[in-house]
Structure 1
Amino acid sequence: MGGKMHELTTNCVFRHGRRHKCAACFRQYNKMEHLVEHMRAARHSSHEPRCDVCGKHCRTFESLRDHLGVGGSTLPKATHCADAFASRSGCTLCLRVTPHHRSSSCKLDRAPAAMSRPAAMAMNSRQPQGRALALGCKMVGAGSDGSLDVVARVCVVDEQENVVFETLVKPLIPVTHYRYETTGIRPENLRDGAAVMTVKSAAARVQDLLLAGEQPWRARTTRGRARLLVGHGLDHDLDALGMDYPAYLKRDTATYPPLMKTSRLSNSLKFLTLTYLGYHIQTGHQHPYEDCVAAMRLYHRMRRQEHAKGGGDDADVPAASAEQAFPAWRQRELERMTPDELLRLSRPDYHCWCLDE
């Protein structure tokens, strides 16, 4: 009996010693082929949020917050990192643990109140600064129960947080709920006048700002003069305006993988602004200018992330599919690689905004 127990213990220790550990998320596998399959599915890369204490890669910033015990959640296996993060005064906004860093440098002030409409209209001819523009829309209700969203106000902000276009929009169908408590819009605000545009005219103006003189067909095939479009829930806003825009030029804080929930659902702009910028938005009457500024600031914070370079000349270019990074015909060669070599070979499955710099 004692001999069998010794043999069983020896086998367990032997198997434990041969377990293969992922260099990114630290998961362990008995067989190297299982680790290769994990890397093929996980798509780990240097662009993922990473713990400054243990170096673990996390899929989203929300999972990193759980790992570091920020926001009241602490995973059982991450108590060491949570304690180290707290003792070293880690920044709860950028989740970094660096010497002489203070959260006050990451905490931003709330955007100034939207300017008066005459002043905003006077700035509609301002030349946008930077390569990106932020779009924000406010909706009123239509339909029998007022649940159908129709655009009533449009705002476009450049990278310097200057208003380059702002207007009220007259909906194409009757409005049944103006949602005054949040929009601040009354029926008399949407009557015909010089300050109110049609949906088609507003969409044309937004498109002209985004294309910057480039032909629409060219913006969909090349990286020319067309500007990046920043926002939260861009597809919803573009649908309301009856517009389309190339996916590779969109920077949507609602669908950017590191900013999403661990369940792959979108976080609200209000939550993202408080969590990563440190101030409240969308209180009282809401103007799209505030949403534009918040989305642009989130974009700038994500764009300035410092990520280590990968292992090749094209290591920072996302692969179109996992088979490009880990082709099946190289299975035996992949199984002979170390976990660190597999990680250097891996590619993200999304475009990291740090590549826009």
Structure 2
Amino acid sequence: MILASPLFQTVRIRNKCAACFRQFNKIEHLVEHMRTSYHSIHEPMCGICKKHCRSFESLREHLIGPLPKQECKNIFNLRGCKFCLTILDSPNARRIHQERCQFSSGLIGRFANLGFRDNLTMDGYTREPQVVALACKMIGGGSDGSLDLCGKVCIIDEHENMIFHTYVKPQIPVTNCRYETTGIRPEFLRDAMPLKQVQKKIQDFLCNGEPMWKIRPRAGRARILVGHGLDHDLDSLQVEYPSIMIRDTAKYPPLMKTSKLSNSLKYLTQAYLGYDIQTGIQDPYEDCVATMRLYNRMRSQVHRREDCPLASDPQNRNNFASWRQNELERMSPEEMMALSRSDYYCWCFD
């Protein structure tokens, strides 16, 4: 058996990424990796070995997947929360934490009994943007009923209070109400609010008195919009809203699959909140609550505040510029990690 020399081992350790633990034969390869990987403190991280992962799904695989890191798996089985993937101090602390971490779906039935609200109002104004969640249930149009039309829409506030909940009358004929999942019948749409009226109400409510061109992410009146697959929902409502004010659980990198594809809202709710949704007849209020809870969970992560959190910010753009190659090659992996920035906006900055 041939053992690697101590010198070779030292080189390998020096060329080991401080975030994902990949090892490189040459320091210039590590520099190139850091230049393109966008590792940051906002990535999901194993609370045991401190490895950074691309998404919570990657972290889940690292801890309890088909081929987990055995040491991390053993500790996680004793002290890890299966919902938020946090490592607690003791098995008893985990039990107490997990009881709080797992949400109950019983709240949904209680709020669903409030019926319909067609006046969009929200009390109070704060310096920080107000947060609302929106969801739609689609019915079918077109000759074969495959064209998605909004048949029902719901908006809730940050505390899961329903502030808008109504049937929507599409502009074209409905050929399939999809009753088995939507619970919508043709007679429910006869006197429903017309799409144009719904569109104006929602557009005005989201902008909250600000012109679209003037909306900014901070110190403005426009509201942060939370949802899952919001492009589809807003398109069906014919509502335009700036992407800087949208928080989409289908597109947020830490909540996506390892392959960078979207997870379903049903899976995210079961895996990270601990209860099932979208069983039988569905109501958009249920989806609103799930997306708001996911958003609040991601937003509550404790990260270091950064004045320039994104790699695209001018102050960070030259951190790994090619003209700094020699300087970067003299740095340790930890020093390079300190320079690296994310390529997505972390919701903890909200």
Using structure 2 for the length normalisation, give the TM-score: 0.90
| Preserved CA contact (<8 Å) 2:160 2:289 | yes
Q: In the TM superposition, what whole-angstrom CA distance separates every residue of 1:321-340 from its partner, at most 9, and x where no partner exists?
A: 98543111111111111111
Aligned to 2:225, the other structure's residue is in SS state strand
Task: Give the corresponding residue for 1:15.
Answer: 8
| Preserved CA contact (<8 Å) 1:156 1:206 | no
Evaluate the alpha carbon distance shift between residue 298 and residue 128 of structure 1 in structure 2; reply closer, same or farther with a 3 A threshold: farther
**Of the candidates 328, 334, 344, which is equivalent to residue 338 of structure 2?**
344
Q: Which amino acid aligns with 2:70?
A: T
Task: Give the corresponding residue for 2:88.
Answer: 98
Deviation at 1:16, TM superposition (A): 3.1
Task: Give the corresponding residue for 1:270.
Answer: 266
Task: Give the corresponding residue for 1:314.
Answer: 307
| Preserved CA contact (<8 Å) 1:325 1:347 | no
Aligned to 1:138, the other structure's residue is in SS state strand
Task: Give the corresponding residue for 1:254.
Answer: 250
Task: Give the corresponding residue for 1:145.
Answer: 144
Evaluate the alpha carbon distance shift between residue 332 and residue 240 of structure 1 in structure 2; reply closer, same or farther with a 3 A threshold: same
Task: Give the corresponding residue for 1:27.
Answer: 22
Evaluate the alpha carbon distance shift between residue 128 and residue 271 of structure 1 in structure 2; reply closer, same or farther with a 3 A threshold: farther
Q: Distance in 2 between matches of 1:221 and 1:52?
A: 31
Name the count of aligned residue pairs. 337
| Preserved CA contact (<8 Å) 1:306 1:354 | yes
1:38 and 2:33 correspond: yes
| Preserved CA contact (<8 Å) 1:74 1:82 | no
- Aligned-residue sequence identity (percent) comes to 53
| Preserved CA contact (<8 Å) 1:15 1:30 | no
Task: Give the corresponding residue for 1:62.
Answer: 57
Aligned to 1:30, the other structure's residue is in SS state coil
Q: In the TM superposition, what whole-angstrom CA distance separates every residue of 1:105-125 from its partner, at most 9, and x where no partner exists?
A: 1001113225347x4327644
Task: Give the corresponding residue for 2:286.
Answer: 290
1:332 and 2:326 correspond: yes
Q: Which amino acid aligns with 2:56?
A: F
Aligned to 1:51, the other structure's residue is in SS state coil
| Preserved CA contact (<8 Å) 2:227 2:288 | yes
Q: Distance in 2 between matches of 1:237 and 1:133?
A: 14
**Of the candidates 59, 71, 84, which is equivalent to residue 75 of structure 2?**
84
CA RMSD of aligned residues (A): 2.2
Evaluate the alpha carbon distance shift between residue 98 and residue 181 of structure 1 in structure 2; reply closer, same or farther with a 3 A threshold: same
Q: Which amino acid aligns with 2:346?
A: C
Evaluate the alpha carbon distance shift between residue 222 and residue 275 of structure 1 in structure 2; reply closer, same or farther with a 3 A threshold: closer
| Preserved CA contact (<8 Å) 1:22 1:339 | yes
Q: Distance in 2 between matches of 1:56 and 1:199?
A: 49
| Preserved CA contact (<8 Å) 1:315 1:345 | no
| Preserved CA contact (<8 Å) 2:249 2:295 | yes
Long gaps (5+) in structure 1: none
Q: Distance in 1 between matches of 2:219 and 2:9?
A: 50
Q: Distance in 2 between matches of 1:172 and 1:325?
A: 52
Task: Give the corresponding residue for 1:205.
Answer: 201
1:214 and 2:210 correspond: yes
Evaluate the alpha carbon distance shift between residue 190 and residue 300 of structure 1 in structure 2; reply closer, same or farther with a 3 A threshold: same
Deviation at 1:222, TM superposition (A): 6.9
Long gaps (5+) in structure 2: none
Report the structure number with the largest CA radius of gyration. Answer: 1
Deviation at 1:221, TM superposition (A): 8.4
Q: Which amino acid aligns with 2:11?
A: R
Deviation at 1:319, TM superposition (A): 2.7
Q: Which amino acid aligns with 2:153?
A: V
Using structure 1 for the length normalisation, give the TM-score: 0.89
Evaluate the alpha carbon distance shift between residue 287 and residue 324 of structure 1 in structure 2; reply closer, same or farther with a 3 A threshold: farther
